[in-house]
Amino acid sequence: VSSIDGLPTPALLLDLDILERNLERMAARAAALGVRLRPHLKTHKCVEVAALQRDRGAAGVTVSTLYEAAVFADHGFDDITWAFPVILSRVEEAIELAARIRLGLVIDSATAVDALASCHPGGEPLRVWLKVDCGYHRAGVAPDSDELLALPRAIASADNLHFAGILSHSGHGYDAIGRPQMQAIAEQERAVMVDAAQRIRDAGVPVPEVSVGSTPAMSVVDSLIGVTEARPGNYAFYDYTQCLLGSCEPEDCAVSVLASVVSRMPGHSVVDAGALALSKDPGPERSAAGMGPVHAEDGLTLDPDLHLTSLSQEHGIVSRPLPVGTRLRIQPNHSCLTVACFDEYQVVRRGEVVDRWKIWRGR
């Protein structure tokens, strides 16, 4: 145990009390909504955090890269969905991993189904999910397309494949303004997915699972009838973007970047946290806090107008001149991208550093 004021900067702080509260709240929410929780681990990339989620009832986990899948498999997580359209040049690696654990793969094209159908898993059939576009328009088959029925049929008729179900991500929730708009997006996702599942069933293909998920939608949704699991990720830490969206309160943000002023200029100061500590996510357009709000070292507000105005690789520009050596805490606009800049968390409980946890950020 040591104190925060002894830490070299930049450092990534993780507040354990806040983390545990966030995990408990989402676990309770999923239980109340009658869905299993399969948290997305890309937010934290940390075995210790995933273990806390599993202790609170998470049924399987979600990852965004095959590297994450392999790391968590090596640490005893044996039910993993790789929630990313399968990368054809990595199918062999995926098959090797699927021989060890219950691995879910995601497709949204006939090309990917053909590639999987022509491989030889050698054991259990590969578990394949169909990604459905629930309104975000990033990836997934359109719910009114012929592919919605054709791809499940193709999967179900391949001996080496098992149709696991349909999966969506309501990322357009990040553009919502206000709770009613967010609720409408969450309900749209549910309705699109439940209707899509019904049409696939009517076409003669069983749909065991209907999986939805994003942190904004999960924080406001009233009903998930017809859905079997949810995959939020960011809720473990939240961030300034989620505060502006209304998914959380500022006191729910579990990670921050501890930084020091290294240069004082007439109109600003420079800290040792640039784009490679915070990422360049600008947050929602309506953010007045630029690249992130800045607090005192103890996390308390110094001045509501103090924020990062811009970032270069290692320099962060703070909106006011401050004495060299001043230690500050920056609240990230996007915790997932910020975490991916660091090798470890400084785990903090009530102002003391109590542990260090590795961030598995390889590719």
Ligand X SMILES: Cc1ncc(COP(=O)(O)O)c(C=O)c1O
Per CB under 6 A, residues contacting ligand X are 40, 62, 83, 169, 171, 213-215, 231-235
Complex with ligand X: residue 189 or 272, whichever CB lies closer: 189
- Residue 331: CB minimum distance to ligand X, A: 17
If phi over 0 gives left and psi between -120 and 50 gives alpha, with beta otherwise, what is residue 299?
left
- Residue 213: CB minimum distance to ligand X, A: 5
- Residue 150: CB minimum distance to ligand X, A: 22
Crossing angle for the helix pair 66-74 and 47-55, nearest 10 degrees? 70
- Residue 189: CB minimum distance to ligand X, A: 11
- Tokens encoding 192: 């699109």
Complex with ligand X: residue 90 or 264, whichever CB lies closer: 90
| Alpha carbons 238 and 117: distance in angstroms, whole number | 39
Complex with ligand X: residue 64 or 326, whichever CB lies closer: 64
CB 136 within 8 A of CB 180: no
- Residue 40: CB minimum distance to ligand X, A: 4
| Alpha carbons 230 and 235: distance in angstroms, whole number | 12
Complex with ligand X: residue 115 or 337, whichever CB lies closer: 337
179 three-class SS: helix
Complex with ligand X: residue 178 or 204, whichever CB lies closer: 178
Number of continuous H segments (helices) and E segments (strands) in the chain: 11, 18
- Residue 214: CB minimum distance to ligand X, A: 4
| Alpha carbons 152 and 130: distance in angstroms, whole number | 7
Burial class (CB in 10 A: 0-12, 13-18, 19+), 350: exposed
Contacts of 77 (CB under 8 A, 6+ apart): 50, 54, 60, 61, 101
Burial class (CB in 10 A: 0-12, 13-18, 19+), 188: middle
Complex with ligand X: residue 246 or 321, whichever CB lies closer: 246
Complex with ligand X: residue 126 or 167, whichever CB lies closer: 167
Q: Which residue has the tokens 């806090």?
A: 289
- Residue 29: CB minimum distance to ligand X, A: 13
